[in-house]
Structure 1
Amino acid sequence: MSPRHPATGPATLLVIAKEPVPGRVKTRLTPPYSPQEAATLAEAALTDTLYTVLKTPARRRVLVLDGVPGPWLPPGFDTVSQGAGGLDERIAAAFGHCDRGPALLVGMDTPQLTTELFAGVGRDGPDAWFGAASDGGFWALGFADPARAAALVRGVPMSTERTGAVQRRRLVEAGLSVIDLPVLRDVDTAADAVAVAACCPPGSRFAATLNSLAEEGR
C-alpha cells in the first residue's frame, strides 16, 4: 500500500485548456459548425468551467493554458503555460505547479460541471480521485499528493477508448485508494454538445450559445 498523505483542506483546482481559437479547438464539431462557431462553443464551455471552479472552495485555482488568456478568464486564477509533449506529459507537468496538499485537474470539455461534483475532494482519506468520461477517457484526476502524478500519468495512451481504464488501473496498481467521481460526457461531437447542453445548470453560457447557434441556423 502507498504511504498516506492526509489531505489538509480544500484542494488546488487545475483547469487544463486550449485558448479558444478557430481551427485549433473543437475541430470535431466542424461540420456542422464552422470553425468560428466551434471556437465560440469552446469558449463558452471553458468559461462555464472556470466560473464553476471559481465558486468551489479551493486552496488555489490554476489555469494550465495552451495559448494566451482572453477576456473570458475571470480574476482569481493563476495562469501557467502547458508543458511540451503529448497530453500525458502536459497533465503530468500541470501537477508540477502544485504545492503540497491535494490537487484535482479537470478539462474544458464538461461545461455541465457543478460545485457539488467536487464535494469531498481534498478531504482526509483517499489517495486519488478519478472522474471517468463516457467516451472512455476521464474528465477529472486528482491526488492527495500531487508529486505522485508524474509517474502515474506519463505513458498513459490518451484520446482512446481505453484511456480512462488504463489511467485508473495505474492508480490502483500503485496501491492508491481511489474515490470515483460521477461519470460525465465530454463535448467532442455535435451530438455530444446537444446532450451536454441539456444537462447544464441554469445560466450556462454553453447551453445558451448552443441554443443561439441553433436559432441562427433555422
Structure 2
Amino acid sequence: MRAILAAPLPTLLVIAKSPRPGRVKTRLSPACSPEQAARLAEAALVDTFAALARVPAGRRVLVLDGPVGCWLPPGWEVIPQIAGGLDARLAAAFAAVCGRDGGPVLLVGMDTPQLESRVLAEALSAAARTDSDAWFGPATDGGFWAFGLARPDAALARRLLLGVPMSNPSTGAVLRDRLAEAGLRISTLPVLNDVDTVSDAAEVATLAPGSHFARTWHTVTASATRTGTAQPAPQGALG
C-alpha cells in the first residue's frame, strides 16, 4: 500500500501540429476548406487538452510542430518536434522527458477529441500500474492513438519506435508486436477513431456531442449548407 501511495505521477505528452490552414487535416479537403480543416484541428486539440487536464499528472508536455497559439491552456510545457519521420519524432519526444522523476510517460495524439479522461485516469492509476509495463491505444485505421511506458528510458523508446511504419494499416500491429517481443506487460486502451477523413469527423462529432469539436463540426457543416459550397459528409455518417 505504501508503494502505491508513493508512486510518482505520470508525464502526459501530446504530439501535434499547430492548427494552421494548409498544414493540418489536409485529408478533410476538398469537402472542407483549409481554414475549416484548421478550425477542426484546433477544436480537437482543445478537447484533448481538456480531457488530459482531468487526468492526474506531474507534467503535461506538448511536443509541437509550429508556433504556439491561444489554444494552448496554462500549465503545459512546450518542446519542439525534431525533424525526421514520425517514428523518430515520437522516440525523441520520449527521450526529452525520460528520467526526470522516474514516473510513467504516456503520449497521446491530437486526433481523438472523443477521448474520455476517466479511461486514462484509471489506466494510469497507481494501483493499475502494478500490472502494466506499457499502454497501447489502438485506432480503428490500424494505427494507434496512445502509447506509454511505465518505466521509460530513451534507449527503450528508440528500440520500440524507430522503424515502425507510420500511417500504415500495420502500424499498430507492428508496435504491439515489438512491445510483446520486449517482454512488456501491455495494458490495452479502448479502440478509438482518429479524425483523418470527413466521415471520421462526422462519426466523432456524433460520439462526443458536447465537445468543442462537435460544435465546430456543426458550424462547418451549417456554413457549407448556407454558402452552397462542397459539403462535408452529413452529421452521423460513418466511414
2:123 corresponds in structure 1 to: 120
Q: 2:30 aligns to what?
A: 31
Q: Which runs of 5+ in 1 are unaligned?
A: 1-6
User: Structure 2 vs 1, CA of residues 38 and 72 (structure 1 numbering), >3 Å: closer, same or farther?
Assistant: same
Tell me the residue number matched to 1:3: none
TM-score normalised by structure 2 residue count: 0.86
Deviations 1:159-218 (CA, angstroms, capped at 9, x unpaired): 00000000000000011110000000000000000001111162x110000001111122
Q: Answer with 1 or 2: which has the greater Rg.
A: 2
Matches within 5 A, 1:1-218: 8-98=7-97, 99=100, 100-118=102-120, 119-121=122-124, 123-147=129-153, 148-200=156-208, 202=210, 204-218=211-225
Q: Distance in 1 between matches of 2:204 and 2:89?
A: 26
Q: How many angstroms apart in 2 are the aligned matches of 1:170 and 1:23?
A: 34
CA root-mean-square deviation: 1.2
Q: TM-score, normalised by structure 1?
A: 0.94
1: CA distance between counterparts of 2:29 and 2:213? 17
For the 8 Å contact 1:54–1:76, the answer to whether it is kept is no
Aligned residues: 211
Runs of 4 or more consecutive aligned structure 1 residues displaced over 4 Å after TM superposition: none
Residues in 2 aligned to 1:113 and 1:187: alpha-carbon distance in whole angstroms: 12
**SS state at 1:58 partner:** coil
Distance 1:16 1:216 in 2: 30
Distance of 1:171 and 1:120 partners within structure 2: 17
- Describe the superposition over 1:62-107 as per-residue Cα deviations: whole angstroms up to 9, x where unpaired: 0000011100000010100011210000000111122221010000
Percent of aligned pairs with the same amino acid: 57
The answer to whether the 8 A contact 1:114-1:201 is kept is no
Q: Compare 86-95 and 148-157 and name the one that shifted more.
A: 148-157
